[in-house]
Each structure stands twice: as structure tokens, then as C-alpha cells.
């Protein structure tokens, strides 16, 4: 018995009954491509003018937190900011209120207050904002321009030990 016709079918094809007259096409499966981004919405970002407004009209409802290291903080900071170094003290925001005050010398920011994080260029402030969110803070903002932007735009600088009247712009 001789075989006259052999038909090879690729995997995932429809069965072909009349191979001589109907071409077999592979079944196409739709591919869903979507990129997921972990960037926070833009309404959580403050710019220079908004931060400047906070420094000119301080509020007890808004706390500006500098997450740079203490040595960086001592070189200058935004008026009214407190220092909570995220790199050397990543657990700070997770501490109890009593332990926090013992470690830093000022009260822990309340979870219902607006907290605004900044660092030197915006990277550490983003990490701090994510940690604060995990710790239960709801009203979290970031100053993404951070210290570099503040100085470049002539924002007032404060150094530890300076009185409010001694604040200076970035041009010294």
C-alpha cells in the first residue's frame, strides 16, 4: 500500500479537511499589552511656588519633612522643615510617637496632617512617601524638585542655629 499524500499540520492550527483547496491558517491569540506604572498621580506633587507659599504662611496642618542626612540638613534647609533622614533611619516613620520623639527631639507627625517630603533631588523623598503610605499616612505630598530646585530658584535657606531673620537666599 502506497501513501499518496502526507499532510503536516503545524501545532495550533484548525483542522484542514480539504488541504488541496483550503489553506490552513494558524489560530491567532490576542495579546494584551499594557504597561503598569508605579508613579504617583501628579496631584501629590508640589512645585517651588507651592512650597514657598507654605514657608511664607506656615500652617500647623502641613509638615515639611527633609529626608536628607543630618550633614546635608545642616548645610541648609527649607524654612519650617524638620529632618527625618530616610537613608540612615528608614524605620523612623514606623516608630511609636514616644520612641520617635525620643530619637528626633520633636513630636512625630500625625497621620491626619499633610506631610510634604523633599530631599536633594527627589529620589529619597519618593521612597519616604511610599513608607509613609505604608505607615498609614493619607495626605502625602512630595516636592520633587527638592533642595536642588529650591536653591536654584532662590528659595530662602535656613541653617541650624540661625534665627528666622537671618534666612538667606541661595546667592550668598
Report the Cα 121 to chain-centroid distance in Å: 12
Strand partners, 12: none
Active-site position among 63, 64, 119, 128: 119
pTM over 0.85: no
Closest CA to 114 of 146, 141, 145, 132: 141
Give the span between the Cα atoms of 90 and 81, in whole angstroms: 18
Tell me the residue ranges of DSSP E strands in 1-156: 45-46, 62-66, 82-83, 114-118, 140-143
Domains along the chain with CATH numbers: 42-160 (3.40.250.10)
- What is the SS3 assignment for 104? helix
In this prediction, residue 156 carries a pLDDT of 94
Verify whether residue 24 is a known catalytic residue: no
Per residue of the chain (172 residues), what is the pLDDT tens digit?
A: 566 666 666 665 555 555 555 555 656 666 656 555 555 445 599 999 999 999 999 999 999 999 999 999 999 999 999 999 999 999 999 999 999 999 999 999 999 999 999 999 989 999 999 999 999 999 999 999 999 999 999 999 998 876 555 545 544 3
Mean pLDDT of the chain: 82
In this prediction, residue 69 carries a pLDDT of 96
Is the CA virtual torsion 90, 96, 97, 100 positive or negative? negative
Amino acid at each position: 500500500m502506497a501513501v499518496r499524500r502526507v499532510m503536516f499540520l503545524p501545532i495550533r492550527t484548525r483542522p484542514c479537511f480539504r488541504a488541496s483547496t483550503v489553506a490552513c491558517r494558524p489560530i491567532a491569540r490576542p495579546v494584551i499589552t499594557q504597561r503598569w506604572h508605579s508613579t504617583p498621580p501628579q496631584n501629590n506633587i508640589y512645585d517651588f511656588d507651592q512650597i514657598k507659599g507654605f514657608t511664607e504662611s506656615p500652617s500647623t496642618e502641613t509638615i515639611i519633612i527633609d529626608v536628607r542626612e543630618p550633614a546635608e540638613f545642616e548645610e541648609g534647609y527649607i524654612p519650617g522643615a524638620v529632618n527625618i533622614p530616610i537613608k540612615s533611619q528608614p524605620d523612623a516613620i514606623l516608630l511609636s510617637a514616644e520612641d520617635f520623639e525620643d530619637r528626633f527631639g520633636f513630636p512625630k507627625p500625625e497621620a491626619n496632617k499633610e506631610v510634604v517630603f523633599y530631599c536633594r533631588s527627589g529620589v529619597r523623598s519618593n521612597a519616604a512617601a511610599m513608607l509613609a503610605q505604608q505607615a498609614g499616612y493619607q495626605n502625602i505630598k512630595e516636592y520633587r524638585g527638592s533642595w536642588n530646585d529650591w536653591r536654584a530658584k532662590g528659595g530662602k535657606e535656613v541653617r541650624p542655629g540661625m534665627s528666622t531673620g537671618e534666612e538667606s537666599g541661595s546667592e550668598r
